[in-house]
Amino acid sequence: MDQLFTPVSQTYRKSSQPDELLGPSIPSKASQEARVEFNGASPEQALEALRSQPDYDNLLSVLKFLQRGLQGNDEFDIRKPTPQSAQIIQVLVTEIVPNYWTVLRDASPEQNSGDVGVLISCLRSLPGINALLAYLRALLQETKTDPKAVGSSHAIFNSSFILELLSKILSADNDLRTIWNGIRSLENPTQVRPMRQEFVSLFTSAKIVSLSAEAEDTCRQAGQLKHGVWMSNSKSYIDWLGRNLVEWARSGADEDDLKLCAEITARAGRLGNSENLTSVLFAGLLLRDGNGQTAFSRLLDFSPPLEQRKTINMVLQLLSDKYLNLNTQDSSTTSDDPGIWAASGALRIVVGNDETRKSSLVSWLTSGSGAGIGESCGIRRAAVAVFADDRESMAVILEKSLSQFGDQLYIKHAPLLQQDAHTQVLLLSAGYVHRLAPIKLTMLLRSSSYLKAISNRISAPQNRARFLGMVVGEALSGLVHSKEAKLDFKMDEMDTEEAKWYKSLVQISDKVGPLDPLREQFTSLKRANKTKPPRPSKTAARQLGKPPTQSGFVIEEIEDDEEGEDLDLVPYAKPDSDDEDSDDDPTLINRNKPKAPVYIRDLISYFRDMENYDRQKLALTTAPTLIRRKANYGTEVSSHAEELATLLVGLQDKYDLDNFNDLRLQGMIAIVVAQPKKMGQWFAKTFFDGDYSLSQRASVLIALGLGGREIAGFETSEYVSAAQFASKMLPEKVEKHYITPSPSNRLQQSTSTLKPLPPNVLDNLTQSLSQTFLAPLAAEAADATTGPDALKLSSFTSRLQTHSNNPTKSKTKPRTRAIPNTTASLIASSFFFPLTSRFQAAIHSASATTRGILFQPYLLTLYLKTLALLLHAAGPSTLALSQMTTEFWDLLLGVRGQCVGDLSITQAVLFGLVALLDVNETDMRGLCERHGREVVESMEWVNGVFSNTRGGDAVEGGGEENEVKMLAAGVLIRLREAVDKYQALLMGDMIGLT
């Protein structure tokens, strides 16, 4: 057993030094001072001084030494990429800023001057900013490793210091030029080239914005951030970048600098908010003096052709939105307008003599998605006037417009607003060509293309297409032919105000004018943005009152057991209880409450007062009734409709009010019903072009859908009766003896009993209409499964008896709803067509952000359902039904790709087909004749949806699948019935259908 424990080997270690632990203790020596005094000799000494934890005076000496190098008074320049400068910057960022930032900031009288200004100037360089961002990224990574100790971590404090320092470094409008001058001062060209690329990449990528936003959110959650950081907002960052580019371009930059500015502008537009960047450049360069205009033109010269085209499109959109807000249908378009002349002058500066930019503007005027769809005619007048002296370009515009105007596919499938815009361009260019070269227009009217265009227009099934064809024919013939020989269709439509307005476009002769009107309007807009409404004092609902004064007398209540002598006196009733009376402290009750607004301007002031809870609540509860009441009395609503709608759409639930979303929606619906022609188009434009969230855009769609149904008579709001003015009516006690109560008495309730709209109100309407569409199909299917018709006598007799005994329940909905054509035309022109036309323009736009928002599943579903409800509200009697059917059917077939993997969008597309077939039920032959290709294509797609959708089982999620399959079955039955009945008309379209 002992052999098992025999050691293999033995080693003995001899210590060469005595064991310190076993020796006697020696008292420690006093630590010598490790700080190094700096005397401004060399960068090595400066680095050693920074590493030795310098005191405040020694730190300032080092910073001032580094600043002398920036000013050219010393050989060492911290901005140059050298090992010494990199080490000094690293020490400044990681050691000096965390320890000395608060001291430097408090010792400086102003934000960017004094002692802190010296530190900022040392780090305002490409290496300095990169070091700050790298340190900030490391701090954020450190906070993620220990989330529980975030509040007390030093990384949070350091992150807030770095954010504050970075915001001060990039606060001026000449920071880009200053940083580039430091790079440009390098003597070695091989160092300039990579630093130039890094410089462009740093400021045109999302590095600064993303890191700042993440750090701001982390610091705010930890409670260490008092104020927001502007760099975390992409819009603010783009504005800062635009201001720097403006100052750089205006400072007499040479060719290399302008090329760099053009590259930064092109790449910064990909960050998003490119409209803001164009707006800053437009206001800072074009609307300044001649030097700024020359700089803008040269900036475009150094940009790629694609970026030039994008810039022209954004300038056109900017002019249309902010400077040419004209309602062309109500204004005299033949009169001279200095604003349009100024816009034309701005476009002339942008285009210049460059052929590429000229062709881009011509393409915008004649392309399928251009010409400012849904915008006022002013922007088209300004764009055409750019070529007022260019006969060749004007002739090209006229020929392309006329060729497109007569194309049959364009007539059938182009949105209505797009055809209106291109017709205006055609008439405007024809007038200029007639004045520049009359023989050119005369020969054009004798060509086959003109005759074919007018013939195709007159033979089109859409009323609007025929109307535009007759307008163009009469207008152009009036220019060339004499009064006796000119074309005259002898139609009543040609004597309307709209037809006269279109025919007057050929007489317009705009010119390129000065930019003074645009400058004045820009100044007024800038002043309006800076002028904020006065912020009233906060509510005094919780202010402590003064305690009651104590007197020397004490009042004591003595109860008397004896009965009073005046037994016949009736005591006063107790006052109504107030919710605030339940407060324990009566001094906290606010009796000075605001009164309900009685004017629209008061309502607007209440909405703007975001700090007053009572005013916000009163404005929300009063808005639906007040807007409806003032709709037909005076011009209060019409004058302030857009301002009021803007406030309602962007209103936030700051105080968590009850029924906030419903009250806000009811206010928007009231505006739509009060001014349908104006506000329907405004809400459609806001949905596509406004800067709103998904929920706010959804509320716009719901307001349009419900407002359109109320205008058509399908819905009656409870606010209608409450909004009526007082009239000569009998008192209620007397009126009940003369008038029989009717079911409409439910509308005579007060506003306190109004029920809010359910959050899924459009879904409920969709389900109701779907059931109405599928009910006859279900009845036919039930009859088909009960056996031969001879065995159905008893059931038929019982149904007939039930019908005679209870006629009210068996009343069926009429096939054709009698809706006045004026109402249907209003829904089509102000609600339906703006939504469809702008959608087609948005999906063809260059902005990926807009397309991404529109194709959000929830928003796209709501959009399709809104269009279906509006089509159903217009009804089968509308004159524009053929055009509405064409646009909506093309749109539904165009979004089929979004239905893959999303049942909600599939259900919305099927419901759109349900609405199409329901409205066109009385004219299925005409539907198959005009839309044979769409009928066959839709039947094939619906058949695939029906076959590939699982339904009828009880698995989880089967409810939505069952609804989709049921809708697909109903649509498929209707389409197959139409195909079987009118297969001769569809024979050519069915070739290739399996």
Cβ(269)–Cβ(308) below 8 Å: no
Q: DSSP secondary-structure letter at 322?
A: I
Beta-carbon contacts of 599 under 8 Å, excluding residues fewer than 6 positions away, are: 636
Residue that is written with structure tokens 């515009």 in the block: 397
Alpha-carbon distance of 613 to 635, in angstroms, equals 29
Furthest-apart CA atoms within the chain: distance in Å: 139
Q: Which of 340, 451, 351, 441 is nearest to 394 (CA)?
A: 441
Task: Give the torsion through C-alpha atoms of 50, 53, 59, 61, to 10 deg.
Answer: -70
- Going by C-alpha positions, the residue among 840, 842, 930, 940 that lies closest to residue 883 is 930
pLDDT over threshold 90, residue 853? no
Residue 175 near residue 241, CB atoms below 8 Å = no
| Residue 856, token pair as written in the block | 């959000």
Per-residue pLDDT at 956 exceeds 60: no
- Contact call for residues 616 and 657 (beta carbons, < 8 A): yes
Instruction: Place 797 in a pLDDT band, splitting at 50, 70 and 90.
Output: very low
How far apart are alpha carbons 472 and 404 in whole angstroms?
A: 13
Two tokens, residue 423: 């017709």
d(CA 257, CA 279): 21
Three-state DSSP class for 152? coil
Buried b / exposed e across 667-706, counting CB within 10 Å, b at 16+?
A: bbbbbbbbbbebbbbbbbbbbbbeebeeebbbbbbbbbbb
For 32, 52, 636, the CA distances from 29, given in Å and listed in that order, are 9, 20, 88
Which residues lie below 8 Å from residue 501, measured CB to CB, with a gap of 6+?
328, 329, 333
704 band by pLDDT with thresholds 50, 70 and 90: very high
Residue 18: Cβ within 10 Å count: 8
Q: Which residue has the tokens 């309307």?
A: 496
> Tokens at residue 138, please?
């490391």
540 CA to centre of own chain: 37
Give the pLDDT confidence score for residue 533 in this predicted structure: 45
The pLDDT tens digits for 616-633 are: 888 898 888 889 888 888
What is the dihedral angle through the alpha carbons of 801, 805, 806, 808, rounded to the nearest 10 degrees?
110
pLDDT digits (tens, 9 = 90+) for 272-313: 788 888 889 998 888 887 788 888 998 999 999 989 999 998
Number of C-beta neighbours around residue 348 at 10 A: 19
897-931 pLDDT, tens per residue?
A: 888 878 888 889 999 999 899 888 888 888 888 88
What is the average pLDDT value for the chain, to the nearest integer?
A: 78
Three-state SS letters, 272-313: CCHHHHHHHHHHHHHCCCHHHHHHHHHHHHCCCHHHHHHHHH
Q: What is the pLDDT of residue 737?
A: 66
Which of 27-36, 43-52, 242-251, 892-901 is predicted with the least confidence, judged by mean pLDDT?
27-36
Rg value, the chain, Cα: 38
In this predicted structure, the answer to whether residue 868 has a pLDDT above a threshold of 70 is yes
Which of 343, 330, 418 lies closest to 378 in space, CA to CA?
343
Q: Per DSSP, which regions of 185-301 are E strands?
A: none
Query: Tens of pLDDT along 225-269?
Result: 777 788 888 889 999 999 999 999 888 778 888 899 999 999 988
Band the pLDDT of 732: cuts 50, 70, 90: low
Packing angle, helices 463-480 and 416-436, rounded to 10: 0
Quickly count: other Cβ atoms within 10 Å of residue 10's Cβ. 5
- Considering only residues 731 and 750, tell me which one the structure prediction assigns the higher pLDDT: 731
Locus of tokens 């188009």: 681
Q: What is the predicted pLDDT for the residue at 725?
A: 58
| Res. 31: pLDDT tops 60 | no
How many helices (H) and strands (E) in the chain?
45, 0
140, 165, 397, 446, 887 from 408: Cα distances, Å: 61, 63, 19, 20, 15
Token pair belonging to 638: 């019409």
CB atoms within 10 A of CB 890: 17
- Is residue 380 within 8 A of residue 367, CB to CB? The reply is no
Q: What are phi and psi of 16, to 5 degrees?
A: -85, -20
DSSP string, 563-622: PPS-TTPPPPPPPPP-GGGG-S-GGG----PPPPP-SHHHHHHHHH-TT-HHHHHHHHHH
> The tokens of 17 are what?
């030094």
